[in-house]
A and B are shown apart, each in its own frame.
Chain A
Amino acid sequence: MAANPMTQFNVYRIGPEIKIGEIDISFTNASLFMVISTITILLIFNFGAKKNSIIPNKLQLLGELSYSFISKMISDTAGSKAKPYFSFIFSLFMFVLFCNMLGMIPYTFTVTSHIIVTFVLAAFIFVGVTIIGFIKHGFGYLKLFVPSGVPIVLLPLIVIIEIISYLSRPISLSVRLFANMMAGHTMMKVFGGFVVSLGIVGGWLPLSFSVALTGLEILVAFLQAYVFAILTCIYLNDALNLHH
């Protein structure tokens, strides 16, 4: 067992080193777990959708439940205009959820505990939503930064504040997921280390703590995927239904 609780986040190369120019694009353990979670999602939903029986088996039920869950979430938060983006939000939710959940299995690697992964996801959402907003409203989308009913004197300050608050969206989105996952996994490792160092006499208390933490972490893994998806819906709602 590694004594350092941070070693679980090490990224290392698997297989040969591949380089394009100066950029290292070798296959790492992080990429391996992204591939694994993608394949798991594909397998589950392929087998779930294979036999369309009226009385669904477990896999089909899982697929149907998650479909209606996401579809309800989108229509609740972003309205009917957001229906075309269902597939994007569904894949996003499933990817984050499976990365989080696969990380809960011992000896696996949690992809979402790295800020770069979550930030890239959030940056894609941010850029995509901004583009959608400009396509739907043209330059009228800039009205998002000018709230109505503000005195002229305060307007420059308010516009700067609004722009900063808009720019902070991808940061808050990515930091939230990353910090939750990293803090939880570090904490679990630290308590695991306590069990070993306190031995058979005093190790029972941290062991019971570890068990409780595992439950909490599974909850957090689901919750953060949900929050990630629902905030994407909220941002999409701002872009589609401009009101301020």
Chain B
Amino acid sequence: MSNDLKTRLKIAKTKFKNKNPSDKNNEKSSFGKAFQLSTELVSAVLVATIIGFILDNWFDTKPWLIIIFFFIGVAAGIINVIRSAKKMQKE
């Protein structure tokens, strides 16, 4: 009986090992990764533009700060994307 269990365990373990090169798992996480990258790019632009808008209202410099901060936001977004892409490659 115990012998039977052992062989069955062995079979199950080898099956598990063969399955382990996780194709499905990879696919799952790449969907999440794609979405993560896109939101990171957009959110940095959004935050920077809002900051520019507020500062413009403060200093009465419409529309210069909003334009400047928009481009800074784009830069920040690209840096965000590069960073998280690097982090993903490490994994």
| Residues of A bordering B, CB below 8 Å | 157, 160-162, 164-165, 167-169, 171-172, 175-176, 179-180, 219-220, 223-224, 226-227, 231, 234
Contact = CB atoms under 8 A, between A and B. Distances in A.
A223 B47 contact: no
Given A172-B39, A223-B32, A160 B72 contact: yes
A168 B31 contact: no
B31 to A, nearest CB: 7
Given A172-B39, A227-B36, A165 B28 contact: no
A83 to B, nearest CB: 21
A168 B76 CA distance: 9
Contact of A175 (B29, B42, B72, B73): B42
Contacts of B35: 176, 180, 227
Contact of A165 (B36, B39, B44, B51): B44
A172 B83 CA distance: 14
A168 B40 contact: yes
B87 to A, nearest CB: 8
Contacts of A176: 35-36, 39
Given A161-B72, A164-B73, A176-B36, A171 B28 contact: no
Q: Is the interface of B mostly helix, strand, loop or mixed?
A: helix
B66 interface: no
Contacts of B87: 234
A6 B35 CA distance: 23
- B28, B40, B77, B79, most chain A CB atoms within 10 A: B40
Interface in B30-75: 31-32, 35-36, 39-40, 42-44, 46-48, 51, 69, 72-73, 75
A160 B35 CA distance: 25
Interface of B: 28-29, 31-32, 35-36, 39-40, 42-44, 46-48, 51, 69, 72-73, 75-77, 79-80, 87
A149 to B, nearest CB: 15
Contacts of A224: 32
A138 B25 CA distance: 40
Given A167-B47, A219-B28, A172 B40 contact: yes
A164 B47 contact: yes
A231 B43 CA distance: 15
Nearest to A222: B28
Contacts of B47: 164, 167-168, 171
